[in-house]
Structure 1
Amino acid sequence: MTRPQVEPWVPADDRGLAYGDGLFETILVRDGEPLLWPQHMARLGRGCQRLGIPMPAAAELDGLPAQAGPGLKVLKLILTRGSGGRGYFAPPIAKPRLLWQAFDFAPQPQHWESGVRVRHCRLQLSIQPLLAGLKHLNRLENVLARSEWDDPDVAEGVLCDTQGHLVEATCMNLFWQRRGCLETPRLDGSGVAGTLRAVLMERLEINEVTMGPEVLAEAEAVWLGNSVQGLWPVVRLDDADGSRQLNWTLGPVHRTLQGKAHELLGYPATFAR
């Protein structure tokens, strides 16, 4: 297993670089302690099993968060199949390459406090059950979706799949409350199964549903969230042209789920009403 201290560059024949043949995890680390580490390792393990890439030893992975240093950091782990093979045909015995980087992180408390404006994206996510849920290295759909707007007042973009079903935002999972019940899109065809989403679903009754974007008009509250940024209440949803489509007023219903999510990440769990 190649580590960046030994080989701080990626060779041109690395399959992750050439084909997106690999996985990554983005982990919030507070003073050397990783948040939601079991969930991140479980997702990495599922991805390794599905792609046929050997999972790094726990001893090799478990020591990395401490190397991120003091304060609030983000640790990014990148695991590729390594070099070798011929074209798309992968080598029969993979020699994975593990890379990592850590960088300072400052969250955006104004998004927690005041909520965010988001928009629909024109891009539709392809449906591929074999890759659904994985945080694999081929993220071109997300890159293209994120290029659809440059308005700094728009925090995120909501994505549907090619059948018109809600999936996620460009880098966050989607949640809403409808008729008093929490719901989130089912991710059996596309999308990334986030680690914050996973732990919230373990602890709360959140129904996975297959619904089109029209369901959001019935929602009492909408949130976007991931394990780095926490949970953002959505207060405005625009269409793909940037015109206002739906609004929500911040209230106690938003703060309840947000507080539960933030307790897991060490972020503020209570806010002014």
Structure 2
Amino acid sequence: MLLSLASWVNGKPSEMISITDRGLSYGDGLFETIRVTNGRQTLDYLHWQRLLSGARRLGITLDVEQVWRESLLFLESSGVTEAVLKVIVTRGSGGRGYNAAGCGQASRIMSLHALPEYPKHYAIDGVNIRFCDLRIGQSSFAGLKHLNRLEQVIARSEWQGAAYAEGLLRDFEGRIIEGTMSNLFFIDHQEVIVTPSLVRNGVAGVCRQYIMEQARDWGMEVQEKDVFPDMLDKAREVFIANSVNGIWPVVSCDHRHWPVGDITRVIRDKVTGVLNA
């Protein structure tokens, strides 16, 4: 559902943004989509860390603690307890053309949206996914969740209907990078959890980061490496991760098929527990 349940701009209730805002003109900014459960932002420390890191990389002057406090007030004032909180930060208005010199204060845009209505069996029985035709190029902003999501928009338009729940994006050398809205993981023959390297492109997802940080405590090993499609032929289990939807086991991609395995179930349950707490 796209309908906004509530919105603030720069700390006040509003649905208006300047037509000169650089986020609108150039995609000059960042965003976070945070699952809200029982009025609480889930995996919040990872979202706010990523926003701070991204702002520093883009040279956007931002008091992240102020934005975090605004988000708490925004949630409290809305009265909404189950939702998706979207936080957008742009460089603001100013500069001349691509030259951002003289740009004013960063814009802070917050909105609340209903949780996406995906079938519950996706997380239990698994999903079918596909490879997208669109290829993504190397980016100086690898890892960032910046506002320019045109590649994901075009890739997602390659299919309609419920036959596939997600599409995988590859780069021009054929490496698998990510899904249009998720990060990919697979379990290899040694029971190591493998996820694609994001040093060239892609979004370093918050759910991905949580799994990588917690894996050792769960008695598991995670490796980041270049992943090519033929590596999935030998995978024992495959799943995709998203900080709003959690973990979806993958049961097929083109001619490949996998079971919903034990390791995937453990990780799914761990993540579900955090997102629903």
TM-score, reference length from structure 1: 0.90
Share of identical aligned residues, percent?
39
- How far apart in 1 are the matches of 2:225 and 2:101? 38
Q: Does 1:182 align with 2:193?
A: yes
User: What SS does the corresponding residue of 1:120 show, helix, strand or coil?
Assistant: strand
* Residue pairs, 1:253-272, within 5 angstroms: 253-266=263-276
In 1, the alpha carbon distance for the partners of 2:212 and 2:12 equals 37
Give the deviation of 1:4 after TM superposition.
Answer: 6.1
5 Å-filtered alignment, 1:29-40, equals: 29-40=36-47
Q: Using the alignment, how far apart are the partners of 1:18 and 1:251 within structure 2?
A: 45
- Secondary structure, counterpart of 1:131 in structure 2: coil
Aligned AA for 1:177?
I
TM-aligned CA deviation for residue 184 of structure 1: 0.2
Whether the 8 Å contact between 1:116 and 1:236 is mirrored in structure 2 is yes
User: Which of 218, 231, 246 is matched with 1:230 structurally?
Assistant: 246
Question: Residue 2 of structure 1 contacts residue 96 of structure 1 at CA under 8 Å; is this kept in 2?
Answer: no
Cα offsets for 1:75-107 (capped at 9, x unmatched): 000101011111111124541100010022155
CA RMSD, 1 decimal:
1.8
Letter in 2 for 1:48: A
Farther off after superposition, 250-259 or 3-12: 3-12
Mapped partners of 2:91, 2:56: distance in 1: 12
The answer to whether the 8 Å contact 1:72/1:106 transfers is no
Structure 1 residues 63 and 147: alpha-carbon distance in aligned structure 2, compared to 1, 3 A threshold: same
Counterparts in 2 of 1:25-174, with a 5 A limit? 25-65=32-72, 66-67=75-76, 68-106=78-116, 108=118, 109-128=120-139, 130-174=140-184
TM normalised by structure 2 equals 0.89
Alignment size in residue pairs: 260
Query: Equivalents in 2 of 1:18, 1:117: separation in Å?
Result: 36
| Cα deviation digits, residues 99-155 of structure 1 (max 9, x gap) | 010022155321001100000001111101x21000000000000100111132210
**How far did 1:8 drift?**
2.9
Number of the residue aligned with 1:271: none
CA shift for structure 1 position 173: 0.5
Contact 2:249–2:260, Cα closer than 8 Å, also in 1: yes
Q: Distance in 2 between matches of 1:125 and 1:100?
A: 29
Distance 2:253 2:112 in 1: 33
Question: For the Cα contact (< 8 Å) 1:175–1:184, is it kept in 2?
Answer: yes
Task: Work out whether 1:199 is the aligned partner of 2:199.
Answer: no
Match in the other structure for 2:227: 211
What 5-or-longer segments of structure 2 have no aligned partner?
Answer: 1-7, 216-220
Q: Evaluate the alpha carbon distance shift between residue 70 and residue 126 of structure 1 in structure 2; reply closer, same or farther with a 3 A threshold.
A: same
CA distance in 2, matches of 1:5, 1:63: 9
| Contact 2:92/2:103, CA 8 A, preserved across alignment | no
Counterpart amino acid of residue 252 in structure 1:
D
Deviation at 1:5? 2.5
